[in-house]
Amino acid sequence: MSSTEGSSHAADKSPRPQVDRLLVGLRWRRLEEPLGFIKVLQWLFAIFAFGSCGSYSGETGATVRCNNEAKDVSSIIVLFGYPFRLNRVQYEMPLCDEDSTSKTMHLMGDFSAPAEFFVTLGIFSFFYTMAALVLYLRFHNLYTENKRFPLVDFCVTVSFTFFWLVAAAAWGKGLTDIKGATRPSSLTAAMSVCHGEEAVCSAGATPSMGLANISVLFGFINFFLWAGNCWFVFKETPWHGQGQDQGQGPSLESAAEQGAVEKQ
């Protein structure tokens, strides 16, 4: 008997039954409702937004051909990426003289503020939507019975809507400036050796900005998702019920008055 009791106690303490109880308590049908389905989309597109921006890296370059007797040709390759502090990115500019061989240069501009704000907002959106999904699926009774949860959810949803609009617009403007600063023609324009007659400079390949452009698109998609979800969250708040009660109040009074007149 003791061995069977010990095995039963060990089974109760194992994490597997606890996980099973948690999964059984989840109401997956909530995902078919707009409130849960949009949260899933917000969770996914938050990952796409901060993932595409935070993982971006590119390169730009140019070639410098000195007009000296040796006819030296130097290839310049500059690597850059998130968080786009371009003024800290170094590259070596060749010098077509006998005194020195190269000079350390830096790209122009610091665009870390809009990029880091965009990525940070995406990470916060990811964690909030994940917590909201757990609340919707596992503790939905608390969400419907306690009116504070819908109010907090509505205020947070409105805040994220505003922040996504600001972040997407700011990151789009910052990306435009990054494209201008990393253009090969901008690189050759910043090198003094290319302005004289001692060298001939040629622009290299233009950086590929496809992943960065997609991140801006994901930012605006997140804005539209959060803006659209404001209405469905508002319907769960007491404010929506008060509006309906006020709208039904005059109609009920007029119906009662009409019934009294008919009885007379």
Q: Where in the chain are the domains?
A: 31-234
Q: In this predicted structure, what is the pLDDT of residue 14?
A: 56
Amino acid identity, position 217: L
Higher pLDDT pick, 72 / 210: 210
Q: In this predicted structure, what is the pLDDT of residue 47?
A: 96
Tell me the per-residue pLDDT of 69-104, one tens digit each, with 9 for 90 and over. Answer: 656 788 899 999 999 999 999 998 888 776 667 889
Tell me the per-residue pLDDT of 31-46, one tens digit each, with 9 for 90 and over. Answer: 777 778 899 999 999 9
Q: In this predicted structure, what is the pLDDT of residue 252?
A: 43
Question: Which position has the token pair 């539209």?
Answer: 224
Average pLDDT (132-139) is: 83
Residue 242 has pLDDT above 70, yes or no: no
CA distance 52 to 83: 12
Band (pLDDT 50/70/90 cuts) for residue 264 is very low
Band (pLDDT 50/70/90 cuts) for residue 18 is low
| Strand, coil or helix: 68 | coil
- Side-chain-side CA neighbours of 243 within 13 Å: the count stands at 7
With DSSP H G I counted as helix, E B as strand and the rest as coil, what are the percentages for the chain, rounded to 5? 70, 15, 20
Higher pLDDT pick, 145 / 24: 145
Class of CATH domain 31-234: mainly alpha
Contacts of 253 (CB under 8 A, 6+ apart): none
Q: In this predicted structure, what is the pLDDT of residue 216?
A: 97
Higher pLDDT pick, 253 / 47: 47
Q: In this predicted structure, what is the pLDDT of residue 72?
A: 72
Give me the DSSP letters along 108-171.
S---HHHHHHHHHHHHHHHHHHHHHHHHHHH-HHHHHH-THHHHHHHHHHHHHHHHHHHHHHHH
Residue 246 has pLDDT above 80, yes or no: no
Contacts of 69 (CB under 8 A, 6+ apart): none
Count Cβ neighbours within 10 Å for each residue of 214-246 and write b for 16 or more, e otherwise: ebbebbbbbbebbbebeebbbebbeeeeeeeee
Q: In this predicted structure, what is the pLDDT of residue 74?
A: 83
Q: In this predicted structure, what is the pLDDT of residue 257?
A: 45
Task: Name which of 102-106, 215-219, 239-243 the model is least confident about.
Answer: 239-243
Residue 214 has pLDDT above 70, yes or no: yes
| Strand, coil or helix: 73 | strand
| Strand, coil or helix: 176 | helix
Q: In this predicted structure, what is the pLDDT of residue 13?
A: 54
Q: How far are the Cα atoms of 8, 25, 28 from residue 18, in angstroms, in the given order?
A: 14, 11, 18
Q: Residue 103 — left, alpha, or beta (φ > 0 → left; ψ -120 to 50 → alpha)? A: beta
- Tokens matching residue 116: 């880091």
Nearest alpha carbon to residue 48 among 210, 162, 227, 211: 211
Residue 218 has pLDDT above 70, yes or no: yes
- Tokens matching residue 191: 């090198």
Q: How many CB atoms lie within 10 A of CB 163?
A: 19
Q: What angle do CA 205, 188, 62 make, to 5 degrees?
A: 35
Nearest alpha carbon to residue 212 among 87, 102, 80, 89: 80
CA distance 240 to 229: 14
Band (pLDDT 50/70/90 cuts) for residue 261 is very low
The per-residue pLDDT of the chain, averaged, comes to 81
Average pLDDT (175-204) is: 89
